[in-house]
Chains A and B, each alone.
Chain A
Amino acid sequence: MGKKGFFATLIAILILVFLLFPSSTGKEHILIPERILDLENPENIINPDTQGVVSFSMGDYFGYFTENLDLTYIDRLDYKVSISDSVFINYPKIPQILDVQNSNGTGRSIIETTGYPMIIGSRIVIISDSFISLYDLNGNLYWKKEILSIITSLSLTEHQVLISYLDGYCELISMSGETEFTYRPGGSRIDAVYSASISSDGQYISVISGLDPQRFILLQNRKEEYKPIFHFELQEEFRRSISMYFSEDNSQVFFENSAGINIFDVNLKTLTRAGNSGRMGNVYKDNECNFYSAMLVDKEGASLKLFTPDNRVILEKSFKGDSLFFRKKEDRFYVGTDNLLMSFQMVSK
């Protein structure tokens, strides 16, 4: 056997060994079921506490539970509910006032409006037929503006509100109501902005705009001005509002694709397509273990997926049902389907 033959045989054996004995992921992850709560027949509701509770909304019900899945508050939806871990607004189809309530059900403030609310962090955005307004949780008005186009998305930081419009632009508004920045991406046959998101530190803005082509654009705040620093054409085109948000550490942008989730790395400027089917629900990034957990929803139900940054699925669990809910808090996963709330704990072996 010549030198060439020896090396060819060696490479073939190495490939065979690699295929037969793939490297281990290191740890095995198991979801251990802990508790199940039937929302239609809750066993008992513990003394309402406003601290450290987790909000939920699914089907006809909304409320709060503790980390151990003890229910602290439950109620039925009027028309819709906007809910955070500290307050909620259960509002009718034709509102005249909005009753902002604490997580234990006590009244917090009243807002006179005919619009629908959206609680984001410590702010309430209200969109009516003609106006968009921003309030704090105590019902104090920051600003009110006339709406001139269809609003496709909202994104908030502590100091700013980013609004995207179907007319093809997005607008960054300060807490005093001044327009700090407007951006019209253009570059497509149809001008429209389908989603825009701002990172919590205000450094980046991501935008999905236009049709034919539909593009993803990343803007960075440089010298108090946002400049486009990266863009690419998307493989598929959405004609509806697209769920998009930054990870907690602002290093990634999560947004929908037709088969799950796009994960754009802000630093590396790389795109990973994750999941195989379904519409993106909540996505969480676990920095310690370096994996993502996401709920993907489709017509059949939903699947909870844990996957690595290179899209290797390390755990998958399917759930059937119409109304679905998913939250992750540290190593606990809370999943809701058809009036049942379940908690799982992830154990790594």
Chain B
Amino acid sequence: MKKTFFILYLIIASVCLYGYQWPIAGGFLTASFGEDSLNSFLKGIRISGHGSIVSPFLEGELIYYSSESDPLVSVMGNTKVLHHDNGFRSIYGHLESSFNEPDKYMMSESDQLGIVGNSGRSYEKSLFLMIFDTKLNQYVNPQIILPPSGDTNAPEISNVILTMNGSSIELKEKNIISPGRVEITADIIDYGSSGRSIKTVPYSIFMFYLGNEINMIKFDTLKEERGELILHGGRPVSFNKLYKDGNIFMGQISLTKGIAYLEISASDISGNSTTRTFQLTIE
């Protein structure tokens, strides 16, 4: 609990100290931090918007730029990287092709960093934004520091699957099942504020059984530990332990005879939340 308050304090303090802004006017998410991106965590967010001009999310110094025509072709296409006074580095990918050598390096929030494009491995025009904290050596979910996007849609929880001894059942409101150790997975998605049915993952997910917290997943930061990225914020978890067959692995529980309640809740970054409760009659 203390840790959560500390992170919240840090976020509020940094928002007060630094005027973060969305890099595209009227920006909305098309892919969220930590979601399954080709069998790995997505280390940033993808943004589309009404505007096409990309500006820094915070004033900073341009320390790197790469072009689609460089010998070392990046899947991020044309990319620019800014270094900020607070130790953050922001990375802007898939910018429109063929920009000239930059004529200045100190960029304010009102400067044009580039144009939204689809350079590199990208189907459609969108901006890929990553924020790396050089002091703590971790990728930070940009959503927790960007201003609220005005999202009013709550996440959706579906396909809650209980697996025991290799056989699976989809949980309904009331269920009769045998005792034993089971695994729970769920399909939890957030459609965000775009109104375009773009599936992203929510910001936090909890699972309770018999009133006890079984799992807490929060998409705050990604940090390298022993050569692999670990998601932090809730209980630390690696990619292979979070995603199973496209669903989110919620945890294991032991079912003993009687009536019990399983509760799963999910919230987005704007605080919209959904809770589903399942009654389990174990006999």
**A contacts, CB < 8 Å to B:** 80, 93-95, 114-116, 118, 127-131, 145-146, 148-154, 166-167, 190-192, 194, 211, 239-241, 243
- Is B66 within 8 A of A243, CB to CB? no
Q: How far is the CA of A154 from the CA of B65 in the complex (A)?
A: 17
Contact pick for B74, options A127, A145, A146, A191, CB 8 Å = A127
Contacts of B228 in A (CB 8 A): 146
Q: Tell me the interface secondary structure of chain B in the complex.
A: loop
Instruction: Give the interface centre of B39, B43, B63 by most chain A CB atoms within 10 Å.
Output: B63
B229 close to A (CB within 8 Å):
yes
Check if B75 sits within 8 Å of A115, measured CB to CB: yes
- Chain A residues whose C-beta falls within 8 Å of the C-beta of B132 in the assembled complex: 149, 167
CB 8 Å contact bits of B33-68 with A (1 = contact, 0 = none): 000011111110000000000000000011111110
Q: Which residues of B contact A (CB under 8 A)?
A: 37-43, 61-67, 70-76, 79, 81, 83, 89, 91, 102, 105, 120-121, 123, 132, 134, 224, 227-229
Quick check: A166 and B38 within 8 Å, CB to CB? no
CB distance from A117 to the nearest CB of B (A): 9
Q: Which of A130, A131, A243 has the most CB of B within 10 A?
A: A130
Q: Are A130 and B40 in contact (CB under 8 A)?
A: yes
Q: B75 and A129: CB pair below 8 A?
A: yes
Contact assessment for B81 and A128 in the assembled complex, using a CB-CB cutoff below 8 Å: no
Distance from B127 Cβ to chain A, minimum over Cβ atoms (Å) = 15
Q: What residues on B are CB-neighbors of A95 within 8 Å?
A: 121
Q: A150-B79, A239-B64 are in contact. Are A130 and B41 (CB under 8 A)?
A: yes
Contacts known (A118-B72, A154-B72); A211 close to B63, Cβ less than 8 A: yes
Cβ of A241 and Cβ of B37 under 8 Å apart?
no
**Closest A-chain residue to B101, C-beta based?**
A240
A93 B72 Cβ-Cβ under 8 A: no
What CA separation (Å) do A116 and B68 show in the bound complex? 11
A130 touches B74 (CB 8 A): no
Q: Which residue of the partner chain B has the closest CB to A177?
A: B227
Known: A131-B40, A191-B134. A239 touches B62 (CB 8 A): yes
State whether B75 touches A128 (Cβ < 8 A). yes
A92's nearest neighbour on chain B, judged by CB, is B121
CB distance from B159 to the nearest CB of A (A): 26
Distance from B239 Cβ to chain A, minimum over Cβ atoms (Å): 9
> Which residues of the partner chain A approach B83 to less than 8 Å between Cβ atoms?
190
3 nearest CB pairs, A to B: A130-B40, A148-B224, A116-B73
Q: Report B254 CB to chain A, min CB distance, Å.
A: 33
Contact status B64-A152, CB under 8 Å: yes
Q: Would you mind naming 14 contact pairs between A and B with Cβ atoms under 8 Å apart? A: A93-B121, A95-B121, A114-B75, A129-B75, A129-B76, A130-B40, A145-B227, A146-B224, A148-B224, A150-B64, A150-B74, A211-B63, A241-B66, A241-B72
B155 shortest CB reach to chain A, Å: 24
Chain A residue with the shortest CB-CB distance to B138: A148
Residue of B nearest to A93 (CB): B121
**Is B72 a contact of A94 with CB atoms below 8 Å?**
no
Residue of A nearest to B224 (CB): A148
Q: Which of B70, B91, B105, B224 is in CB contact (< 8 Å) with A239?
A: B105
Contacts of B79 in A (CB 8 A): 150
Given the interface pairs A94-B123, A150-B91, the reply to whether A129 lies near B38 with Cβ below 8 Å is yes
Asked whether A94 lies within 8 Å of B91 as measured between CB atoms, the reply is no
Q: How far is the CB of A154 from chain B (nearest CB, A)?
A: 6
With beta carbons under 8 angstroms apart, the residue of A166, A190, A241 that contacts B61 is A190
Separation in Å of the B232 CB from the closest CB of chain A?
14
Q: Which residue of B lies closest to A113 (CB)?
A: B38
Q: Which of A114, A166, A190 meets B121, CB within 8 Å?
A: A114
Given contacts A116-B74, A243-B71, contact A129 B81 (CB under 8 A): no
Pairwise interchain contact B65-A116, C-beta atoms closer than 8 A = no
The closest CB in chain B to the CB of A95 belongs to B121
Specify which chain B residues have a CB less than 8 angstroms from the CB of A154 in the assembled complex: 72
| Bound: A146/B75 CA distance, A | 15
Name the distance in Å between B15's Cβ and chain A's nearest Cβ. Answer: 25
How far apart sit A257 and B174, CA to CA, in the bound complex (Å)?
A: 71
Complex Cα distance A95/B79, Å? 20
**Within 8 Å CB of A94, what residues of B?**
121, 123
In the assembled complex, the Cα of A191 lies from the Cα of B38 at a distance in Å of 30
Contact indicator A153/B72 (Cβ below 8 Å) = yes
> Which residues from B are CB-within-8-Å of A166?
63-64, 81, 89
Write out the residue numbers on chain A whose beta carbons fall within 8 Å of the beta carbon of B81.
150, 166
Which among A129, A150, A192, A240 is the interface contact of B37 at CB below 8 angstroms? Answer: A129
* B65, A130: Cβ atoms closer than 8 Å: no
Q: Give Cα distance in the complex from A219 to B227, angstroms.
A: 25
Determine the distance from Cα of A130 to Cα of B42 in the docked complex, in whole angstroms.
8
CB distance from B118 to the nearest CB of A (A): 9
Within the complex, which residue of A127, A146, A190, A240 is in contact with B40, where a contact is CB–CB below 8 Å?
Answer: A146
- In this complex, the member of A95, A145, A166 whose beta carbon has the largest number of chain B beta carbons within 10 angstroms is A166
Across the interface, do B229 and A151 meet the contact criterion of CB distance under 8 Å?
Answer: no
Asked if A128 contacts B63 (CB within 8 A), the reply is no
B66 with A240: CB separation less than 8 A = yes
Minimum distance in angstroms from A32 CB to a CB of chain B: 31
Closest to B128 in A: A129
14 further A-B pairs in the complex, CB-CB below 8 A; given A115-B75, A146-B228, A240-B70: A93-B120, A114-B121, A116-B75, A118-B72, A128-B121, A129-B76, A129-B121, A146-B40, A146-B227, A190-B63, A190-B83, A239-B102, A240-B65, A240-B67
